[in-house]
Amino acid sequence: MRSSWLRALAAVCATVALAQAAEPQQQQGQVETLANGLKIEYVYTLDGCEPKSKINDMLTMHYTGKLVDGTKFDSSHDRDQPFTFQLGVGQVIKGWDLGLTKMCVGEKRRLTIPANLAYGDRGAGNVIPGGATLVFDVELLNVGDQAPTTNVFKEIDQDQDKQLSRDEVSEYLKKQMAAAEGAEGGDDIKQMMSDHEKLVEEIFQHEDKDKNGFISHDEFTGPKHDEL
């Protein structure tokens, strides 16, 4: 029987994919402002290109990040080293995960990202103050295949003790659901979020075979590497 864990992840991923598929082709020079405050300027676009970036793809980007007053705080160009990450899994700020979908290699965008989709009230180090709106000029250099062997177990296991607690599973699910909701996931995602605690308990009913309150690597049926 397929576990609640896998059903939950499948539902989240499917909802995000459907939300992205509905997006129209954007034209060069167009500026789009989403309901969450994210502004996307389509600086340079290509017609009829494939593939277009989507959730779980590995993207390689060049970027320059600035504050709204023009102060530069980071740039891959300065390091002469493009940045590679997996889209839509929380490896980057939410404004990137939401603003870099359906993008073609060679295209350029300017993202103006409000604090709630960036570093919030806490800021980041000494270079990004709390509550800051960020402006990123980005260029997509490469779109790679989806990562088929993502070690989800390791991503959830925050304290790296080789077993998953209820708190760790709960926090991971919250992040995945929040990402899907941000992509305008709709009523299905909202319902899962409202039933969040029930979902965690269902996962442990299926996965925690020895009923010790933790899910071991051997018990875990989600995506994982065998080596730890």
Q: Which residues are the active-site residues?
A: 63, 73-74, 93, 119, 136
Smallest CA-to-CA distance from 181 within 165, 196, 161 is with: 196
Q: Are 196 and 8 in contact (CB under 8 A)?
A: no
* Alpha-carbon span 146 to 213, nearest angstrom: 32
What's CA 195's distance to the chain center, in Å?
A: 22
Question: Where on the phi/psi map is residue 123: left (φ > 0), alpha (ψ -120 to 50), or beta?
Answer: left
Q: Please state, in angstroms and rounded to a whole number, the distance separating the CA atoms of residues 118 and 131.
A: 9
Residue 158 and residue 135 in contact, taking contact as beta carbons nearer than 8 Å: no
Query: What are the backbone dihedrals phi and psi of residue 10, each rounded to the nearest 5 degrees, phi first?
Result: -65, -40
Angle among Cα 138, 67, 90 to the nearest 5 degrees reads 55
User: What residue type is assigned to position 201 of the chain?
Assistant: E
Residues in the chain: 228
The CA radius of gyration of the chain, in Å to the nearest whole number, is 19
Q: Are 134 and 128 a contacting pair, CB within 8 Å? A: yes
**Per-residue DSSP letter, 186:** -
